[in-house]
Structure 1
């Protein structure tokens, strides 16, 4: 999701003030959560850190969109997605 921050700084204030970027990030988290869920249903031996949390976040965004916390989403983008990206890249290289 770093591509969303090419024209604006990757800072929480910039993220919070940009509705279009927030919605794009949320949509991508929905897609990532759904993909993670499908991967685990096909092969539950795959180990992905924070997989359950990613799936839960997807469900929260879709079903509880009026209660989505920008702070929580930002934490996911900055702390958890880089870990997930690294793990997926390692799985793909196997």
Structure 2
């Protein structure tokens, strides 16, 4: 695998690892539990920022790849990262929870599929 392709794969793996961490953090929580647990909120927000930053790097350094896979919301993930990173005390935790419930599982499936495709291409399958 070329160095350039490996870096793309690294960004995708960073996204998937951050999703897995978030899922572990909220595994035994419902919305009320999340909204009252500041430690988990901070951990989740940090990992959403990682997802957004890696997504931005994909958009920025691999625009053709991003365009070919426009069903994956890389730009939206970066927009959320900016809102979280610069929102400080204005973060809407209910929106964060809805993102975890609705968007994160779908993003994880999409990114996992992309990783598998890249690995298959590398192995010649």
TM-score of the two chains, using structure 1 as the length reference: 0.89
User: 3-state DSSP class of the match of 2:63?
Assistant: coil
Provide, for residues 21-75 of structure 1, a one-character-per-residue CA deviation record: whole Å limited to 9, x for no partner: 0000000000100000001112123225332221111001111122100111001
Once the 2 structures are TM-superposed, how far is the Cα of residue 2 of structure 1 from its aligned partner?
A: 1.4
* CA-atom RMSD in angstroms: 1.3
What residue number does 2:55 align with? 36
Counterpart CA distance in 1 for 2:60 and 2:110 is 18
> How many residues get paired?
92
Provide, for residues 6-32 of structure 1, a one-character-per-residue CA deviation record: whole Å limited to 9, x for no partner: 4xx331001011100000000000010
* Alignment pair present for 1:19 and 2:38: yes
| Larger fraction in helix | 2
Instruction: Give the number of the structure whose alpha-carbon radius of gyration is greater.
Output: 2
Counterpart CA distance in 2 for 1:50 and 1:43 is 14
Contact 1:50 1:80 in 2 (8 A): no
Runs ≥4 residues deviating over 6 A = none
User: 3-state DSSP class of the match of 1:64?
Assistant: helix
User: 3-state DSSP class of the match of 2:44?
Assistant: helix
* Alignment pair present for 1:3 and 2:3: no
Structure 2: segments with no counterpart, 5+ residues:
1-21, 118-125
Tell which has more relative contact order, 1 or 2 (C-alpha 8 A, sep 6+): 2
Structure 1: segments with no counterpart, 5+ residues:
none
Once the 2 structures are TM-superposed, how far is the Cα of residue 5 of structure 1 from its aligned partner?
A: 2.7
Counterpart CA distance in 1 for 2:76 and 2:94 is 15
